[in-house]
Structure 1
Amino acid sequence: MAEPIRVKELDPTLREEVAGLLKGYDFSNCLTCGMCTAGCKYSDLVEDNDPRKFIRKVALGLREEVENDPFVWNCNMCERCTVECPMGVNIAAITRAFRGKTAMPPGHLQHIADDHINTGNQMAVEQIDYDETLEWLEEELQKELNDPNYKIPIDKPDADFMFGFNAREIKHYPHELQTILHVFYAAKANYTLSSKRWDATNICLFTGKNDEFCEISRPLFEEVERLNAKELIVTECGHAFRSSRVFKRTYWQGKDFPVRHIVELYADWIKEGRLKLDKSKNPLPVTMHDPCNTVRKEGVYEPQRYVIKHVVEDYREMNPDGKYNICCGAGGGALAVAATKQQRMTKAKPKVDQLIATGAKIGCIPCHNCIDQFNDMNKFYKLGMKMHHLSTLIENALVPDDAPEAPAAE
């Protein structure tokens, strides 16, 4: 039998306090219908992962219980529950508000935030290492492109866009940045990188600490303003894209400019004929994951599908897709909380089932956070698949300018 709720344990001020933290999100319309739990793929897989129980504790004013509820950090903040909610209650926003009240977030989350504030990027890459990595990439691209005059544009004023990326593309996976810059070259893009602030990620999207969130994102936006770029293009990272969009909508008061995901730019270039592609170069069956921060939360769904259908021969959709997609299980900063590795693999099972059902040999994962989870689940569940970003598939399909046109598909 459940423990009785005692009236003296209820704090009627909690609702108002949480409402003040949510900045526009309203949870007072909750009907206690349980559709949030029905929509959550993890409520039956992981203990203390029931959104209905959590929001009822908030509504009742069970302050001590809710502030110590494991749900706060178990939740992946994927908003799959909100899609099913008839009243549109955003439980992820409530979760984030309670995270912001936590003095020391679990795992490496606070360490990542501190590094970003102190060094300008989440992985504490020093300026000399950043500069030398770009110099090395420039040399590699000169050889790859057979263009000894190729230069990576840095601090170029009045460019069409400034490119914001992920520190992992400098510290651990520079070949991924090389791939993107190759695609930029093929499209004859007028862009720039910043010499100062280039990391578009912001771990405080997950810790809920709004003052630190602003301290991390503001310098990136100030660089766009300083260089007078027409827009900010964010790399294949749902977390970086979402945090940049949130900062722009909620906090930025400087020059107005669009913030777009790189897949939107790729789609434009294909429509304009700026990328010459031969999808027969990607003959294996491919499926694509919809990152929660990109698709469900920010509504970018069609551009990546337009792109992938132009770069692979055999595209297979997962079901469900779009805003109803299943989170990979690593959202909400779970990758930085080491204790959740087994939990992440448990939560990965619904996505694994989706992958297997498609029969695809390649998973296209347009998100840095998600692809790390997919690589882990690939090994854990012995799927034998290849996992690639969309940029890699585009680069594979590129045709040199002097090559003949590929025959049209019949």
Structure 2
Amino acid sequence: MAEPIRVNDLDPTLREEVAGLLKGYDFSNCLTCGMCTAGCKYSDLVEDNDPRKFIRKVALGLREEVENDPFVWSCNMCERCTVECPMGVNIAALTRAFRGKTAMPPGHLQHIADDHIRTGNQMAVEQLDYDETLEWLEEELQKELNDPNYKIPIDKPDADFMFGFNAREVKHYPHELQTILHVFYAAKANYTLSSRRWDATNICLFTGKNDEFQEISRPLFEEVERLNAKELIVTECGHAFRSSKMFQRSFWKGKQFPVRHIVELYADWIKEGRLKLDKSKNPLPVTLHDPCNTVRKEGVYEPQRYVIKHVVEDYREMNPDGKYNICCGAGGGALAVAATKQQRMAKAKPKVDQLVATGAKIGCIPCHNCIDQFNDMNKFYKLGMKMHHLSTLIENALVPDDAPEAPAAE
């Protein structure tokens, strides 16, 4: 039997406090209907994942219970609950507000934020290591492209775009940055990398600490302004894209410019004929994951599908897809929170079921955070699949300029 709620435990100031943090969050919009819990794929899989209970605790003013509720950090902030809510109540925003009130976030979250503020990137890559990595990639691309004059453009003024990427692409996966730069070369892109601030990620998207959020993202935007690039293009990283868009909307007061996901740029290049592609080079069946931060939260749905249909022969859609697609289970900073791998793999099961149902042999995962989770679930559930970023599939499909035209896509 549930414990009774005692009047003395209620704090009527809690709702107003939270509403202030969220610029007028209206709790009267909540109908207590439970559609949020019905929409949460994890409410029946793991403990402490009931969004309806959480929002009711806040609305009632159960301050102590809410501030110690495991939901605050077990929620993946994927907003699957919100798309099912008839009133559009954003429980992820509520969760983030409570995270921001936590003195010391769990796991590695605060350590990552501190490293980013100190070094300019979340992986604490020092300037010398960054410079040497780019020099090495330049040499590798000169050989790969058979172009001894190839140079990575750094601090180039007035470029069409500055490329903001993920520190993983420097510290752990430089071959993925090499792949992206190869595609840029094939498209004859007029772009630049910054020598100073290049990491577009922002772990404070998950900690809710807005002062640190601004401190992390502002220097990246200042670099776009300094170099006078026409726009900022963000790599295949859902939280880097979401962070950049959110910072621009809420905090950036400088020069205005578009912030776009790299899949949007790829789609434009294919439409313009700047990338010569042969999708027969990717013959295995491929399915596509919709990262929550890219698709559900920022609405970028069509460009990646336009691209993938031009670079693979056998594309298979997951069901459901788009804004109703299922989170992979690693959102909300779960990879860096003190959550067990066992819990992440339990949350991965609905996504595993989606993957298996498609019969695909390759998962296209246009997000760094998500692909780490997919690689873990691939091993844990013994799926025998390959997981790739979209950039890899594009590179596979590239044909040289002097090659004959591939058949037009239907």
1:310 deviates by: 0.2
TM-score computed with the length of structure 2 as normaliser: 0.99
Contact 2:232–2:259 under 8 Å retained in 1: yes
For the structure 1 residues 290 and 275, does the alpha-carbon distance in structure 2 shift closer, same or farther, using more than 3 Å as the test? same
Q: Structure 1 residues 185 and 43 mapped into 2: Cα distance closer, same or farther (>3 Å)?
A: same
SS of 2:29's equivalent in the other structure is coil
SS of 2:27's equivalent in the other structure is: coil
Q: Given that residues 25 and 93 in structure 1 are in contact (C-alpha distance below 8 angstroms), is that contact kept between their aligned partners in structure 2?
A: no
The 2-side partners of 1:269 and 1:116 are apart by 32
Alpha-carbon distance change, 59 to 95 in structure 1, aligned in 2, over 3 angstroms: same
Once the 2 structures are TM-superposed, how far is the Cα of residue 337 of structure 1 from its aligned partner?
1.9
CA separation in 1, counterparts of 2:60 and 2:409? 61
Give secondary structure in 2 for the equivalent of 1:95.
helix
Compute the TM-score of the two structures, normalised by the length of structure 1: 0.99
Aligned residues of 1:45 and 1:347 also touching (Cα < 8 A): yes
C-alpha contact 1:36 1:51 (8 A) present in aligned 2: yes
Do structure 1's residue 215 and structure 2's residue 215 form an aligned pair?
yes
CA–CA separation in structure 2 for the residues paired with 1:370 and 1:385:
15
Q: CA deviation at 1:22?
A: 1.1
Quick one: distance in 2 between partners of 1:261 and 1:103? 33
Q: Distance in 1 between matches of 2:183 and 2:325?
A: 28
Deviation at 1:409, TM superposition (A): 5.9
TM-fit CA distance, 1:129: 0.2
Checking the alignment, whether the CA contact within 8 Å between 1:289 and 1:363 is kept in structure 2 is yes
Tell me the CA shift for residue 378 of structure 1: 0.1
Quick check: 2:73–2:337 contact (8 Å CA) kept in 1?
Answer: no
Contact 2:310 2:409 in 1 (8 A): no
Q: SS at the partner of 2:224?
A: helix
Change (3 A) 1:8 1:24: closer
Q: Which runs of 4+ in 1 moved over 6 A?
A: none
Partner deviation per Cα, 1:54-92 (whole Å, 9 max, x = no partner): 000000000000000000000000000000000000000
* C-alpha deviation, 1:407, in angstroms: 2.8
Using the alignment, how far apart are the partners of 1:379 and 1:149 within structure 2?
A: 41
What do residues 348-406 of structure 1 show as CA deviations (whole Å, max 9, x unaligned)? 00000000000000000000000000000000000000000000000000010000012
Question: Identity percentage over the alignment?
Answer: 95
Contact 1:27 1:90 in 2 (8 A): no
SS in 2 for 1:338: coil
Paired residues of 1:161 and 1:230 also in contact (CA < 8 A): yes
Deviations 1:170-224 (A, max 9, x none): 0000000000000000000000000000000000000000000000000000000
Give per-residue Cα distances to partners, 1:290-344, cap 9 Å, x unaligned: 0000000000000000000000000000000000000000000000124331110
Listed one character per residue, the Cα deviations across residues 226-282 of structure 1 (whole Å, up to 9, x for unaligned) are 000000000000000000000000000000000000000000000000000000000
Counterparts of 2:338 and 2:185, CA distance in 1: 38
Q: Deviations over 1:107-158 (max 9, x none)?
A: 0000000000000000100000000000000000000000000000000000
- Offset, 1:25: 4.3
Change (3 A) 1:409 1:71: closer
Report the equivalent of 1:87. Answer: 87
* Distance in structure 2 (CA, Å) of the matches to 1:201 and 1:108: 15
DSSP 3-state at the match of 1:31: coil
Q: Is the 2:318–2:358 contact (alpha carbons within 8 Å) kept by the matching residues of 1? A: yes
The alignment of Structure 1 onto Structure 2 pairs a total of residues equal to: 410
What is the rounded CA distance, in whole Å, between the counterparts of 2:85 and 2:172 in structure 1? 40
Q: Which runs of 5+ in 2 are unaligned?
A: none
Could you say what secondary structure the match of 2:146 adopts? Answer: coil
- 1:409 and 1:117 map into 2 onto residues whose CA distance is 46
Secondary structure of the residue aligned to 1:387 is strand
Corresponding position of 1:248:
248
Range that drifts further, 321-330 or 336-345: 336-345
Secondary structure, counterpart of 1:336 in structure 2:
coil
